[in-house]
Structure 1
Amino acid sequence: MAFPLMNSRQQFGWVTILIHWLVAVAVFGLFGLGLYMVELTYYDAWYNEAPHIHESIGILVLLAMFFRVAWRLVSPPPVSLPSHRPWEKAGAHVAHFGMYLLLFAVLVSGYLIPTADGSGVDVFNWFTVPSVTGQQKGLESVAGDIHYWVAWGLVILAVIHAIGAIKHHVIDRDETLRRMMGLKARPVIRPRNDSI
């Protein structure tokens, strides 16, 4: 059975699934690249290339997040599974809201770092995103601090989110993770009643 474009009340559509996993991979990749590139010196081969890649992917993720928010309004996520406890539902809502908030904070602050001198961000030589602030003294430093700490908060929250999904899959054996991976629901095995 082919997965639909849009979400239904029971399952995620392929657009939501694709955006979810692309953003997840990008966030962890950008985090690793960010930690790597701050240790580079002027004479390292990746001194200029690593920030260019980091900034370019960051802008693409920011655009993807704008689309993701709009898509969520057009195609709301499926309802919670009946097996989810009230505290799990509340925790999931808080975690999702927190990740959206932190994602936008880390992406916007990341954009403000290279544009604080008035220059734009060149995205893989495809297009340039201009500075919206112009030259602002001290902005680069403030945005850099915010970017660093929010990135750590985002990654920690994302790891907790992943642990929760694994818990649902391995311990609860429900469809939480399978729905976001585009997998069919497992068949429900009912105990046999051999009594007469």
Structure 2
Amino acid sequence: MQIRNTPAGYGWLAIVAHWLVAVAVLGLFALGFWMVDLSYYDEWYRRGPDIHRSVGILLFALVIFRLLWRLFTPSPESIPAHKRWEVLSARAAHGLLYVLIFVAMVSGYLISTADGSSISVFGWFEVPSVTGQIKGLEDTAGLVHYWSTWALVGLAALHAAGALKHHFIDRDETLRRMLVPARGDD
């Protein structure tokens, strides 16, 4: 199996990173959506947010790694049958997905650290606050986090719909390239 991308397809590292990010984003969204209605006496009242923050920090590291990996192994070439507007809209959507992921993660971090406390990542290590105590920051960051996550999930759904359109209607290799690693030497 090819670790790096080729002009014809993605390597296994890009594929695994893509799907880990997708699962983490959707899982964090679902957990966040569910946990806002927990009562103080619910056993998940503290555990849910702790998991949410920990996975969010690990996702941040994965997305940084993924962006760095893209510098060393460029994306495959566009499929020749794709129309110019499809190629441009896919590039714009990918760029906006990255922006929204970072806005969601940074705003989530600011919510959790606005009181000056650090974030414990599964008890493995601590991520300190860089802001110290800033009154009202958690409210502003919370609003940004709310809307950016909804926009992120909406755009991810559109992204998935586009991939399914290419697979079932256009019957091209777009989706298959993100499911099966490119062939070649490692």
Tell me the TM-score range normalised by the shorter chain.
over 0.9
Following the alignment from structure 1 to structure 2, what is the Cα–Cα distance between the partners of residues 182 and 106?
A: 29
TM-score calculated relative to the size of structure 1: 0.91
**Preserved CA contact (<8 Å) 2:12 2:182:** no
Q: Which runs of 5+ in 2 are unaligned?
A: none
For residues 138-153 of structure 1, the aligned pairs below 5 Å read: 138-153=136-151
Aligned to 1:60: 58
TM-score calculated relative to the size of structure 2: 0.96
Query: How far off its partner does 1:184 sit?
Result: 7.3
Following the alignment from structure 1 to structure 2, what is the Cα–Cα distance between the partners of residues 9 and 157?
A: 26
AA paired with 2:72? V
For residues 41-60 of structure 1, the aligned pairs below 5 Å read: 41-60=39-58
Query: How far off its partner does 1:61 sit?
Result: 0.4
2:16 to 18, 25, 36: 18
Aligned to 1:80: 78
Aligned alpha-carbon RMSD (Å): 1.1
Q: Which runs of 5+ in 1 are unaligned?
A: 186-196
Query: How far off its partner does 1:183 sit?
Result: 5.9
Following the alignment from structure 2 to structure 1, what is the Cα–Cα distance between the partners of residues 138 and 112?
A: 7
Aligned to 2:152: 154
Aligned to 1:118: 116
AA paired with 1:96? H
Query: How far off its partner does 1:176 sit?
Result: 0.2
Following the alignment from structure 1 to structure 2, what is the Cα–Cα distance between the partners of residues 184 and 17?
A: 10
**Preserved CA contact (<8 Å) 2:7 2:75:** yes
Deviations 1:8-60 (A, max 9, x none): 11110111000100000010110010011000010101000000000000000
Following the alignment from structure 1 to structure 2, what is the Cα–Cα distance between the partners of residues 6 and 183?
A: 9
Query: Highest relative contact order (Cα 8 Å, sep 6+), 1 or 2?
Result: 2
Query: How far off its partner does 1:157 sit?
Result: 0.2
AA paired with 1:16? A
Query: How far off its partner does 1:182 sit?
Result: 1.3
Percent of matched pairs sharing the same residue:
56
Following the alignment from structure 2 to structure 1, what is the Cα–Cα distance between the partners of residues 120 and 180?
A: 34
Residues paired across the two proteins, number: 183
AA paired with 1:63? A
Following the alignment from structure 2 to structure 1, what is the Cα–Cα distance between the partners of residues 180 and 135?
A: 47
